[in-house]
Structure 1
Amino acid sequence: MTVSRKDEMRASFFSTHDIQEEIQNSLSMSVLLVEAFYGGSHKQLIDLLRENVEDCVAYTLPAKKWQWRARTAALYFMQAIPASPTYRVLFASSVLNLSELVALRPDLVRLKKVLYFHENQLVYPVRKHQDRDFQYGYNQVLSCLVADVVAFNSSFNMESFLSSISSFMKMIPDHRPKELDKLIRPKCRVLHFPILFPHVTRQLREPKLHDRPDESCVDDLRAPQVSQGQPPSPGRPEAQSRPEELLCPVEEENEGLLSHHSPPAPIAPCLSQDPEDSLLDHKEGTRQIEAGPGGAVKGKEERDGEREEGHVRPLHIVWPHRWEHDKDPELFFKTLLKLKERGLGFQVSVLGETFTDVPAIFAEARTDLDAHILHWGFVPSKEDYLRVLCEADVVVSTAKHEFFGVAMIEAVHCGCYPLCPKALVYPEIFPSEYLYSTPEQLCKKLQGLCKRPDVVRRHHIKVDTLSFSWAALKEDYKSLLASQEDHLP
C-alpha cells in the first residue's frame, strides 16, 4: 500500500498536535514530580503517585550514574521543566539538589516544596573514610533547608540523618555552621514507602514440602485477596508459649552491628514458633491456604504426609537485593558456603538489579554454589519475580545500608520467612525473632532451617505488611501533595 504525501503530512500534523496537546495538559497540572534517579523504589513511588494522585506531571532522569545525577540534575531540570502558573507543589527525592533547582528557577520558590528521603548520604557506608564525598551529604542538608516538608521512609532514616548533621559538618575545616538539625527537624516527618501489593495465593493442592519439580508452587497473581486476620502491632508479636524442641540459645548481642537445591546429628533450628503455627490440615495430600498476620500468605502442610513421603524439598533461600557492596553479598555467600561445607541441603535464588560495577564475589559464588542455584540474576518481569518469591521459603538480608527495604517486605508478603540484621531499619519493622546480631547467628539459624524446612513452611509470619500498603498510606500522601492553599480555612 502506497502512502501519499498528503497522508504523511496529515499524520505528521496529528503527531505534532498530540505532542502539543500533551505539553498543554502538563502545563495545567498542579503537582510537579521531579526524580533525578528514576529507577528501583524511586521509580515505583513516582509511578504510584502519578497514577493515583490527580494533577501530577513527572520529569525524570534515567537511573544511571547516580553520583552525576546528584551533582548535575538541577541544571538539567532547570531547562527541562517548562514554566507554568498552575504549579502548586514540587515533590522531589533527596538525590536532587533542591536548593540549586529553586535558585536556578525562581518561579519554583513559591511552591510547597516536599523532599522525600529514600536514603541519606550522611550514614551511607563507604569502604574507607576518605572515600566519602562530602558534596552528596552537603547537597541533602542544603535541600532540607530550602524544603517546606521533609519526609523520610522510616524513623531510622530520619533520626540517623538528623543526628549525623553536626558530626558531618565537622569535616569543614573552619567556620562551621551550627545547629542545622534544629532548623530542619520541625519540617520532618516519617511517611513509610507505599507498596502496591499484588494479590498472591498459592496452589491449593501441592504440598510444598514434597519435591514435585514439574508442579512447582506457583502463585496466582490474579486471584482475589484471601481474608485477613487482625495483625499484631509491628515488632511486638503477642507472647505465646513455644515448644521447647524448637528453641535454641541466642548468642549475646555484639555492639557495632551491620546499616521487586550433615553434620553428625540434627539440631533444632534457631527459630521460635507459636503452637498455633503448627496447626495442620489432616486431609491427606492437600494444603490449607491461610493468610498470616498482615496478609503474609503461607501454607500449612500435613506433617504425617511429609514423613510418609520421605522426600522433602530443600530449603529455598532468596536474596533479592541490588548487587552492590552495601548489601554485603560477601557475608551472604560466605554463609551459604559454610552450609555447603557442612553437607546441608538448600536451594538459592539470587535476584536484584545490577549496575556498572558488580562485586567480584558474584562470579565466584556462581561457580562455587552452582549445584544449589535455582535462579540467578535480575528478573525483569514483575510477575516472574513475585512467583520466585512465592516459591521461596526464607528471604535473607545481609545489608550494611538499609533505610526501608521494599524487597524484604514484598518477600514477606509473598510468604517468605525473613532473616535480617538486628540494626538499621529492621528492628522498626520486624519482630526480634526474625533478627540476627552476628554472622554466626545467621549461619546457625539457616543451618537449623536447612535441617527442618517444614518448620519455616508452617510458620505464620508476624509482620504487618498491610500497614506499608498504598491502601493504608494513600491519604497521607494525598495530604502531603496538597498545596498550602488547600489547607487554609
Structure 2
Amino acid sequence: MQQSEVSPTPRVLLLEAFYGGSHKQLIDLLKEDIKDCSVFTLPAKKWHWRARTAALYFSQVIPTCPSYRVLFSSSVLNLCELVALRPDLASLKKVLYFHENQLVYPVRKDQDRDFQYGYNQVLSCLVSDVVVFNSHFNMDSFLSSIRSFMKKIPDHRPKDLDQLIHPKCLVLSYPIQFPDVNSVLPDHKQVRRLYGSAETSQADGIIGPQDQQQTSESDLRTIQTRVSGAESAEKEKPLHIVWPHRWEHDKNPELFFNTLLKLKEQQLSFHVSVLGETFTQVPEIFSSSRRLLEANILNWGFVSSKDQYLQVLCDADVVVSTSKHEFFGVAMLEAVHCGCFPLCPKRLVYPEIFPEPYLYSTPEQLCKRLQEFCRRPGVVRRHAVMVDTALFSWTFLKPQFQTLLTADGP
C-alpha cells in the first residue's frame, strides 16, 4: 500500500484500489491540487482480487480520523463493504467515480461475465451520496442495464434500483493534463494551430459552411501563404495513421488491420504506427498483420517514454478508433491535442465528444474515409479539428472537482 503526505487534519480521504493508468492519474491530480487530503492506494495488479478484497484491507489500514469530511473512491472498491466494516466512514460524504462500469464492460461471451463485479458496483452506488461518471454514455449504459442485470438473480429480485441511484448521478469528464507540444509539432500543424483551417476544410468537403468560421480577406491571404509554405514540405509524405490503444479484443484490432490491408490491396500509400499497451494474451491479428504491413510500419508496440509517445502522435495525420467499447477515450483526445484528425465509431462515448465529420457508422465508411485521405493527405493536414480539448483539461475541470470534494458541494 502507498500513502501520500497528509496534512495534520486531513479533510478528504482519497481511496484507489487499482492505482494505475487513468485511475492513478486522477488520484495524483486530486492529491496535488486538493487541500488536506489523505491517500490510500493499492498497486494496479490482479484487478479481480482488488475488486473482491480491497475493502477489507482498507478497513484495517485507514486510521480513525475525526477530521475527515469527504471520501472519494473509484468504483473498483466495494464501498458498501467498507462502510459496513468501518461505520465511522459511513457518515462522510461518499463520492464514487466510475471510470468504467461492469454491467456493460465487454466480455467474449455473456456467460463469462462475473455477476459479482457489477453487483458490487450497484451496492456501492446505493451507499454513496454522489455517483460520478466520466461520460453520459457511461452513466446511461449503467443505469439502463441495472434492471436486466438483476434479472440474472433466480428469484426474489430487488426492484427499482435504477430509480434509487439516478438522483445521485452526475457526469464530470475525466480530466487530462495536456502537455505543451508546440515545440515538437511539424510546421504545418503549428501553422494550422495558429490560423485554423481557413476555407480549406469546406473546400475539401470535411465540414459544411455552417461550421466554418468567418475569416477576412486579408487574414485569408496570410493564412493561405503560411499554409502553402508549411505544406510544401509535407506534400510528398504518405498519410500517417496511428492506432494508440490497448492490444486487446475489445479495441477491435481486427477491423483496424483488415481496413489497412484493403488499403494496401488497392496500392494506396500510407504509414502506420501501432502503439498501446500489451498484456499476457495478445490477439493473433497483431503478429499476422505485422508481417503483411511490414513495409508500411513506422512504429510498433508500446512506447514507454511519454515524450516519444507524444512525438509519434505529433508526427501522425489520422488517429483511428475501432473500439467495441469506450467509456471516455483519453488516447483519442491526446492525439487530437497533438493535431491528429480523429475517426471514431458513431456510437459509445464518441458522439458526445466528436462532431459528425469525425464519426463513421460502418466498416465500409471507415475504409472509404481512409482511402480518400490516402489519395489526398493534404485534406487532413489542412484541417483544424473542431474539438476543443481544453474542455477536458484539468485546468478547466479542476474547480468542479474542488466543489465535488467539499462537504457541502453537490
TM-score, length-scaled by structure 1: 0.76
Residue pair 2:200, 2:382 contacting (<8 A) in 1 also: no
Residue pair 2:251, 2:323 contacting (<8 A) in 1 also: yes
Select 2:251's aligned residue among 327, 349, 352.
327
Select 1:336's aligned residue among 260, 277, 280.
260
Moved more, 43-52 or 195-204: 195-204
Residue pair 2:54, 2:77 contacting (<8 A) in 1 also: yes
SS at match of 1:242: helix
Instruction: Give the aligned residue type for 1:357.
Output: Q
Residue correspondences, number? 398
Per the TM alignment, residue 279 of structure 1 is displaced from its structure 2 partner at its CA by: 7.1
Q: Name the CA distance, whole Å, in 2 between partners of 1:74 and 1:127.
A: 28
Q: Name the CA distance, whole Å, in 1 between partners of 2:6 and 2:259.
A: 54
Q: Mark the CA change 1:241 to 1:396 in structure 2 (over 3 Å): closer, same or farther.
A: closer
Residue pair 1:207, 1:301 contacting (<8 A) in 2 also: no
Residue pair 1:194, 1:473 contacting (<8 A) in 2 also: yes
Per the TM alignment, residue 380 of structure 1 is displaced from its structure 2 partner at its CA by: 1.9
SS at match of 1:319: strand
Instruction: Give the aligned residue type for 1:345.
Output: S
Q: Mark the CA change 1:453 to 1:186 in structure 2 (over 3 Å): closer, same or farther.
A: same
What fraction of aligned residue pairs are identical, expressed as a percent?
67
- The reply on whether 1:395 has 2:291 as its aligned counterpart is no
Per the TM alignment, residue 89 of structure 1 is displaced from its structure 2 partner at its CA by: 1.0
Q: Which has the higher helix share?
A: 2
Moved more, 313-322 or 79-88: 79-88
Q: Name the CA distance, whole Å, in 1 between partners of 2:143 and 2:232.
A: 55
Aligned to 2:288: 364
Could you tell me which runs of 5 or more consecutive residues in structure 2 were left unpaired when the two chains were aligned: none
Instruction: Give the aligned residue type for 1:146.
Output: V
- The reply on whether 1:406 has 2:406 as its aligned counterpart is no
- The reply on whether 1:380 has 2:304 as its aligned counterpart is yes
Could you list the per-position Cα deviations for residues 344-393 of structure 1 after superposition, in whole angstroms to 9, with x for gaps in the alignment?
A: 11111111122232222222222222211111122222222111111111
Q: Name the CA distance, whole Å, in 2 between partners of 1:26 and 1:380.
A: 33
Select 1:351's aligned residue among 265, 275, 278.
275
- The reply on whether 1:432 has 2:348 as its aligned counterpart is no
Could you list the per-position Cα deviations for residues 262-313 of structure 1 after superposition, in whole angstroms to 9, with x for gaps in the alignment?
A: xxxxxxxxx4476779977565xxxx4xxxxxxxxxxx3448846xx9x611
Aligned to 2:368: 444
Per the TM alignment, residue 23 of structure 1 is displaced from its structure 2 partner at its CA by: 8.6
Q: Name the CA distance, whole Å, in 2 between partners of 1:44 and 1:116.
A: 13
Aligned to 1:96: 77
Instruction: Give the aligned residue type for 1:45.
Output: L
Moved more, 175-184 or 62-71: 62-71
Aligned to 2:101: 120
Aligned to 1:162: 143
Per the TM alignment, residue 76 of structure 1 is displaced from its structure 2 partner at its CA by: 1.9
Q: Name the CA distance, whole Å, in 2 between partners of 1:468 and 1:129.
A: 33
Alignment of 1:3-402 (within 5 A): 25=6, 28-201=9-182, 242-243=202-203, 246-247=204-205, 271-272=206-207, 281=223, 288=226, 300-302=227-229, 305=232, 312-402=236-326
RMSD: 2.8
| Higher gyration radius (CA) | 1
Instruction: Give the aligned residue type for 1:452.
Output: R
Per the TM alignment, residue 335 of structure 1 is displaced from its structure 2 partner at its CA by: 1.0
Q: Name the CA distance, whole Å, in 1 between partners of 2:372 and 2:5.
A: 61
Q: Mark the CA change 1:26 to 1:361 in structure 2 (over 3 Å): closer, same or farther.
A: farther
Residue pair 1:27, 1:82 contacting (<8 A) in 2 also: no
Per the TM alignment, residue 422 of structure 1 is displaced from its structure 2 partner at its CA by: 0.1
Residue pair 2:55, 2:77 contacting (<8 A) in 1 also: yes
Instruction: Give the aligned residue type for 1:406.
Output: V
Could you tell me which runs of 5 or more consecutive residues in structure 1 were left unpaired when the two chains were aligned: 1-21, 209-216, 220-225, 230-238, 248-270, 289-299
Q: Mark the CA change 1:23 to 1:433 in structure 2 (over 3 Å): closer, same or farther.
A: closer
Moved more, 409-418 or 80-89: 80-89
Instruction: Give the aligned residue type for 2:158.
Output: P
Q: Mark the CA change 1:417 to 1:482 in structure 2 (over 3 Å): closer, same or farther.
A: same
- The reply on whether 1:473 has 2:400 as its aligned counterpart is no
- The reply on whether 1:419 has 2:400 as its aligned counterpart is no
SS at match of 1:58: strand
Q: Mark the CA change 1:446 to 1:202 in structure 2 (over 3 Å): closer, same or farther.
A: farther
Q: Name the CA distance, whole Å, in 2 between partners of 1:464 and 1:282.
A: 23
Per the TM alignment, residue 67 of structure 1 is displaced from its structure 2 partner at its CA by: 1.7
Residue pair 1:29, 1:57 contacting (<8 A) in 2 also: yes
Residue pair 2:200, 2:383 contacting (<8 A) in 1 also: no
Per the TM alignment, residue 105 of structure 1 is displaced from its structure 2 partner at its CA by: 1.6
Moved more, 381-390 or 132-141: 381-390
Q: Mark the CA change 1:26 to 1:353 in structure 2 (over 3 Å): closer, same or farther.
A: farther
Q: Mark the CA change 1:445 to 1:193 in structure 2 (over 3 Å): closer, same or farther.
A: same
SS at match of 1:420: strand
SS at match of 2:31: helix
Instruction: Give the aligned residue type for 1:322.
Output: R
- The reply on whether 1:463 has 2:395 as its aligned counterpart is no
Per the TM alignment, residue 228 of structure 1 is displaced from its structure 2 partner at its CA by: 9.5
